[in-house]
Structure 1
Amino acid sequence: MTEVAVLRPALTRDADGIARVHVETWQSTYAGLVPTDYLARMTVARASAQWHRAAAQAEKGNDLMVAEVDEEIVGFVSFGPSRSKEQPYSGEVFALYITVDWQGQGLGRRLLATAFEALAKEGHRGAFVWVLAENPSRFFYQAMGGEHAGERMEKFAGVALEELAYGWPDLESWLAQSGV
């Protein structure tokens, strides 16, 4: 692809595009990992309400960034203060998704760096992300220097799934070394 994705804060008008990326990436990435009936029930219309709320909060200063090409959302990252008591990191990446057509082109690295920059500016020294243990995207987080930071079993759609945590204890150092 020759186009360049623009990264910017999410706006409420982006909610449907974010929902589309969310649903498409879940249905392609998590096929065979989470219950099929759950994935089949996912729709942009259902996910859109959640992302409208998140984007409205983002406009007030919460943390949701999108990647867009020619006014089309092709990826997003959601992040903020940690929701986990068991992790020593004060920042957390909640979601990072990129459409299949844009994967493998450096956009994930750019979105992760954007999240880390914002978290560091907010005073978070370190950050982490939870990822399904069987999700091939875990290799992305390893390649980005994420250290194994734990595991847990989470009940999802009636099934217990193993999740792995990857952590970055020093965001400033990572940003200085990443060259993004």
Structure 2
Amino acid sequence: MRLRAACSADVDAMFHIRARTRDNAISPQRLAELGITPATLRAVFDDGAVCGWLAVDGDDQAIGFCNVDPASGEVLVLAVLANCEGQGLGRDLLAAAVSHLQSVGSPRPWLMAGADPALRSHGFYRAQGWQPSGRRDDHGDEELRLGAG
């Protein structure tokens, strides 16, 4: 497995992965309802508003990705194929994203995640040093910020 910078040519692979995660799979149709389509994602990659990292296997097939918004410091999405979990991909992708955000002077990294302790992401982010800020969105997801305070 290796990580590489993602680009607009990787968008179809990202949609494929996003629909095949274990806890929070989202279909392309549902993403479109939220205003996220291959065209909109390609556009934000091409104009630099979003950047990301792709995990690829030995056959150069995409198996995970993480996208961020450098202007706000938000980790927009972290997704790994269900059959590729447990290999450290999520941890490595998240670390690459945070390192980039810090290197370009983004605001303190943050993300929105499900608040249900039964979700794997709940424990995963906390194990990586992310802490709840106390803010929740309209869907009940909680904001997590990297580090204390």
Question: Which TM-score band (shorter chain)?
Answer: 0.7 to 0.9
Whether the 8 Å CA contact 2:51–2:67 is kept in 1: the answer is yes
Q: For each residue in 1:37-87, what CA deviation from the matched residue of structure 2 results, as whole angstroms up to 9, or x when unmatched?
A: xx678489999x7245424533554312211111211111111146xxxxx
Pick the structure with greater CA Rg.
Answer: 1
- Residue 29 of structure 1: which of 23, 28, 32 is its match? 23
Where does residue 137 of structure 1 map in the other structure?
121
- 2:52 is aligned with 1:64: yes
The share of aligned pairs that are identical, in percent, is: 28
**TM-score normalized by the length of structure 1:** 0.67
Matched length? 143
- CA-based RMSD of the aligned residues comes to 2.9
Where does residue 143 of structure 2 map in the other structure?
165
Where does residue 18 of structure 1 map in the other structure?
14
Where does residue 94 of structure 2 map in the other structure?
112
- 2:73 is aligned with 1:91: yes
Q: Which amino acid is 1:54 matched to?
A: L
Unaligned 5+ residue runs, structure 1? 32-38, 83-89, 155-160, 171-180
The 3 A distance-change label for structure 1 pair 18 and 145 is: same
Q: Which amino acid is 2:124 matched to?
A: F
Whether the 8 Å CA contact 2:18–2:27 is kept in 1: the answer is no
The 3 A distance-change label for structure 1 pair 51 and 71 is: farther
Runs of 4+ in 1 over 6 A off after TM superposition: 43-47
Q: How far apart, in 1, do the equivalents of 2:86 and 2:142 lie? A: 22
Which structure has the highest helix share of the two?
A: 1
**TM-score normalized by the length of structure 2:** 0.79
Q: How far apart, in 2, do the equivalents of 1:50 and 1:120 lie? A: 28
Which range moved further: 55-64 or 137-146?
Answer: 55-64
Offset of 1:146 from its aligned partner? 0.7
